[in-house]
């Protein structure tokens, strides 16, 4: 994340990220790829190697909503679609 970005825990295991300098879907997807790469990168702790998985949903202002509630709902729906696709993907 960049110095201008903000991340917050929304509740449970859900987090939100605000990217104020992203103005179009291509920029958002590029940022999303960086976040995914960071989350999925294996890391070592206590002599063991771990890898995390995450389902990410996105929303872009104002295309996906002009109010915070609409943006969060759009991102939430996208996250659940990604979660379902990850579970259905062949392993």
Task: Indicate the helix (H) or strand (E) that contains 75.
Answer: helix 68-88
Please say whether the beta carbons of 41 and 49 come within 8 A: no
Catalytic (active site) residue 13: yes
Write down the catalytic residue from 5, 13, 24, 76: 13
**Phi and psi for 56 in degrees, rounded to 5?**
-115, 140
CA atoms within 13 A on the CB side of 46: 1
Residues identified as active-site: 13
């Amino acid at each position: 994340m960049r110095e201008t970005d903000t991340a917050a825990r929304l509740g449970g295991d859900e987090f939100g990220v605000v990217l104020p300098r992203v103005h179009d879907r291509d920029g958002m997807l590029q940022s999303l790829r960086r976040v995914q790469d960071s989350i999925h990168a294996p890391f070592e702790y206590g002599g063991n190697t771990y890898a995390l998985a995450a389902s990410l949903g996105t929303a872009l202002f104002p295309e996906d909503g002009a109010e915070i509630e609409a943006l969060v709902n759009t991102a939430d729906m996208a996250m659940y679609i990604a979660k379902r696709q990850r579970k259905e993907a062949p392993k």
